[in-house]
Amino acid sequence: MSTSPTKIQSNEILTKPAPVKMTGAQIFLKTLEDLGVDTIFGYPGGVLLYVYDEIFKQDKIKHILVRHEQGATHMADGYARVTGRPGVCLATSGPGATNTVTGLATAMMDSVPMVCFTGQVPVPLIGNDAFQEADIVGITRPCTKHNYLVKDVNDLERIIHQAFYIASTGRPGPVLVDIPKDVTLATAEYKGIRKVDMRGYKPQVLPASGNMEKAVELIFESERPVLYMGGGIVASGASELVKRFAEKLNLPVGITLMGLGGFPGSHELSMGMIGMHGGYWANMAMNNADLLVALGPRFDDRVTGDLKKFAVRAKKIHLDIDASSIGKNVAVDVALVGDAKQALEKLLAIVERDPERARKYRESIRAWHGQIKKWREEHPIYYPQDMKGELRPQYVIQKIYDVTAGECIVTTDVGQHQMWTAQIFPFNKARKWCTSGGLGTMGYGLPAALGAQMACPDETVFCISGDGSIQMNIQELATAVQYKLPVKTAIINNFYLGMVRQWQEYFYGHRYSESDLTAGMPDFVKLAEAYGAVGLKCSKPRDVEPVLREALKVKKPVLIDFQVAKEENVLPMVPAGKALDDMLLA
């Protein structure tokens, strides 16, 4: 699951600056420059003014002025997910720092490499309830991979290098570096560090060879296998290898929400998404398999449902870079601790030692594929074709795919629109899909889209959001306008907190307690125009495609208010805590 950006892979700095004295603020920027950082998402404050003064003086690193520190973290997150390189954000002390917590937790849950710098009150004032002081190191300890408080300017350069190394190796994740104001003013020699050496941090990248032999043997012994693919495949850059592995053995592939794009969604072996809103056939295959080959998933509860009933007939192989993830939720028969890319190269080599055995195996599981096909024909993903004038949300998402031919980056917020997108949009490439899968963060989609657009200026970026989610960070439209980022935001507007309403319908007797957003719903067209963006509205099926094509022609941020059927539900659905084969169907 490791990512290895070019500048960090060798643990070396490519330049060797002359030994000169610099202020902490200058060391901060010089170190980022040496690490290849080209973009910082940030918001200034009093304790960071020495840093911002140095930012003003240079032109090598672009600073994006966000409108809220949470937006900065999600932009850095989106940047990281589409590039594989650590996203970088900057926030001031106190409330600025605490505003980063949601973004850090989001990145932590989804294993996204990020380095977050926060300003801190001067060292002598720490712990004295100084103005805008917060113990951000203590606050973020549970939601970062590691964090630092820099008390001595002489440590700053080394700590920044370590932060990037930790964030991008092993299981990727966010690292926070807290820098007091007096450290940014103090001076030290810039050393031009050439190597990061951390005695206590040595990620294991290759599983034990004996376990890999056992894993392949279990596959050849199986009759009803499923390759259960998670986000670790995307993080490790192993997408092409997992495709070769699945094809070599004819394995049906079930994909987690985080793994979408890691295996081509339109491939004949793809079963699409598994879990709470996965396809009926995919969940039935998971539940009736005699072997799960789990590559980079975390066995989270949205996939497993009732753990006591999860894939009880199946032996389990689990590959993960993080040893602590293996056996955490589900006991496994073979543990493979290591990087997915390197492990898959070895597993393929073992399989290819005996081509005849592989051929016979592919033939032997034809009946299993037949059963999966039958399940698929019995209960395909379905939504009403007779719209009776109402606009179905699934239709909007299908049309976004059609007008872009799937050639775009998609971000989402969290809720019904997120699950419809995951069900309907067949992601065929890795790093084209940004969504908050672990923490489930509403307000993620728009700023993540801006980060992705900054990283990929020549690509089309669509944010698919909900009327509830978009209002949580809509202020970042100002950022999009300022930097001329032509992100297209499609609001699936059903005037409800849709997923909450769906659960209230099914499990709380249709009592829609505080989930109706109709009162106070803004005019999104006027709101977009107030920010200087383009606003469009659509409520008729016949208008969907023309509106989308109009939005794509505009080289500015566009917000489209798609007013859809108010009580449409996401199906299939596995109720929380139920078994995978206990699904509500359309």
| Angle between helix 340-351 and 209-221 (nearest 10) | 60
pLDDT at 4: 42
CB atoms within 10 A of CB 223: 12
Q: What angle do CA 329, 332, 336 make, to 5 degrees?
A: 105
What's the CA gap between 100 and 43, in Å, rounded? Answer: 11
Residue 384: per-residue pLDDT:
74
Active site residue 514: no
H or E element at residue 504? helix 498-507
At residue 17, the pLDDT reads 52
- Per-residue confidence (pLDDT) for residue 504, from 0 to 100: 98
Q: Is 378 a catalytic residue?
A: no
Residue 524 designated active-site:
no
Q: Report the alpha-carbon distance of residue 515 to residue 500 in Å, rounded.
A: 7
pLDDT score recorded for residue 15: 53
Q: Does the active-site annotation cover 132?
A: yes
How many Å apart are CA 46 and CA 18, to the nearest integer? 31
How far is residue 134's CA from residue 581's CA, in Å, rounded to a whole number?
47
Instruction: Report the distance separating Cα 232 and Cα 290, nearest Å.
Output: 23
Catalytic option among 57, 60, 131, 507: 131
The residues near 312 (Cβ < 8 Å, ≥ 6 apart) are: none
Q: What is the pLDDT of residues 128-160, one digit of tens each?
A: 999 999 999 999 999 999 999 999 999 999 999
Known active-site residue 566: no
The reported pLDDT for the residue numbered 234 is 97
Report strand pairing: 20-23 vs 187-190: antiparallel
pLDDT of residue 586: 83
Pairing of strands 315-320, 291-295: parallel
pLDDT at 386: 61
Q: Which of 499, 502, 568, 583 is catalytic?
A: 499
Q: What is the tens place of the pLDDT at every residue in 21-58?
A: 999 999 999 999 999 999 999 999 999 999 999 999 99
The number of C-alpha atoms within 13 Å of 171 and in the hemisphere containing its C-beta is: 22
Flag residues of the chain having pLDDT under 50. Answer: 1-12
Catalytic position from the list 181, 315, 316, 488: 181
Question: Is-contact 87 110, C-beta < 8 A?
Answer: no
Collapsing DSSP to helix, strand or coil, 295 comes out as: strand
